[in-house]
Amino acid sequence: MKVIIVGAGIIGVLTAFRLAERGAEVTVIDAGQPTGAASGASFGWINASFYADQDHFNLRLAAIAAHHRLAAELKSDAIRWPGCLCWEAQGDALDEQHKALKALGYAVSEVSAQAFSELEPSVVAPPRALHFLDEGAVDLAQLAAEALRAGAAMGVRVVAGLPVTRLLEAAGKATGVQTAAGRLTADQVIVAAGVATERLMAEMGVPVPMLSRPGLIVRSEPLPPLLRHVLVSSGQELRQTPQGHLLAPTSAGHQGDDSDTAPEPPDALANRTMARVQAMIGRPVAWDQVTLAFRPVPQDGLPVIGACGPAGLYVTVMHSGATLAPLVAELAAAEVMESALSNTQLALLSPYRPARFTG
């Protein structure tokens, strides 16, 4: 089977890898470079503690397991499991969050200020926090590069720097894509194009409404090892990379940020973010890079995954790909190759089919 994937973000790249494992002939095409858009500007927090409802929690929890499978298969160190310390909620709200996650069977415990200081001696300790033991962090650019190398050994090809202008259809079947350089044909087309998804799908008569959600990530100068966990306070999310850089979204509550425009110029936002970081770690720190990317957020905030429109057309778009991509890649590849999914797998995908927008 010949498959074209539109979009070389982390979802498109991992789906290509999984399809190639199943014997497909895969071409990935992107207007930019692999992980050059939202995937390249991700905070990279792998979690199921941020969820919309029970179904969304189940999907995210299954994705954590998929990350472990992928890391083992690729022998990758792009995925790490430092755990997360979270004090975003306070007082009764923290108690309710703890209770809800325990009821879901999540690995969570409460830590005191003293215990927090033992876990994170370089951070100003809150009175109490929640410890999510099984959460992780991922370098999406590194993970994508590793998956592309493995995919290339199985015949995956990448066409970079060439926008897809429209999807092609003939006799009720998706047949490929149109670009400024000509047509590419295929038996199946997967749209994993992030914020470009709405336009491409609309031209095929498939509504996938998207929100405008700019996201900025600030990177600090490299520092000695300071942080051991992903940190989530009410005013700032923060983690440290293996290279020593601190990564921090410019918006408080980044996971649930619903701003449709950036409120200030990037440098001003970066300065404000570093001021909050300095307050958290009790030492001066300077930033050396701020990156803007538009996060691919469907209208209802939930993933969109599945076949739609003409035969041979499949769509995958969501936030957060950092958590969900390995699982979505496994399931999308299986469906496109017409492999039967288990009842459990079908239940994971059922709430996120694109048909919910056709009304």
Token pair of 67 as six digits = 């990350």
125 lies in a domain? yes
The structural domain count of the chain equals 2
CATH of the domain at 288: 3.30.9.10
Return the residue matching tokens 């700019």: 214
Are 131 and 220 contained in the same domain?
yes
The DSSP output letter for 38 is G
Are 173 and 318 contained in the same domain?
yes
- Tell me what pLDDT residue 144 has: 96
Give me the sheet containing 173-179, strands edge to edge.
164-170, 173-179, 182-185
Query: CA-to-CA distance for 257 and 301, rounded, in angstroms?
Result: 11
36 lies in a domain? yes
Arithmetic mean of pLDDT, 243-250: 96
Other C-beta atoms closer than 10 Å to the C-beta of 328 total 28
Q: Which amino acid is at 359?
A: G
Are 145 and 202 contained in the same domain?
yes
pTM of the shown model: 0.96
- Tell me what pLDDT residue 259 has: 62
Are 152 and 192 contained in the same domain?
yes
- Residues 98-114 have pLDDT tens digits of 999 999 999 999 999 99
Distance from first CA to last CA of the chain, Å, rounded?
32
Arithmetic mean of pLDDT, 311-315: 98
Last residue of one domain, picked from the residues 247, 266, 295: 295
Q: Do residues 195 and 296 lie in contact, with contact meaning Cβ atoms separated by under 8 Å? A: yes
252 pLDDT band (50/70/90 cuts)? low
State the chain's mean pLDDT as an integer: 95
Are 98 and 218 contained in the same domain?
yes
Name the residue among 353, 354, 291, 322 with its Cα closest to residue 11. Answer: 322
Are 289 and 329 contained in the same domain?
no
Arithmetic mean of pLDDT, 240-265: 79
Token pair of 79 as six digits = 């995925």
- Strand, helix or coil for residue 197: helix
Q: Domain of 318?
A: 2-43+141-211+299-357
34 lies in a domain? yes
Q: Do residues 4 and 176 lie in contact, with contact meaning Cβ atoms separated by under 8 Å? A: yes
- Residues 262-282 have pLDDT tens digits of 668 999 999 999 999 999 999
CA pseudo-torsion sign 11, 17, 20, 22 = negative
- Tell me what pLDDT residue 96 has: 98
Are 205 and 322 contained in the same domain?
yes
Q: Which amino acid is at 46?
A: I
Return the residue matching tokens 């003409």: 310
92 lies in a domain? yes
110 lies in a domain? yes
Are 206 and 238 contained in the same domain?
no
Are 195 and 305 contained in the same domain?
yes
Least confident range from 70-79, 181-190, 250-259: namely 250-259
Query: CA-to-CA distance for 274 and 282, rounded, in angstroms?
Result: 11
Is pLDDT above 70 for 186?
yes
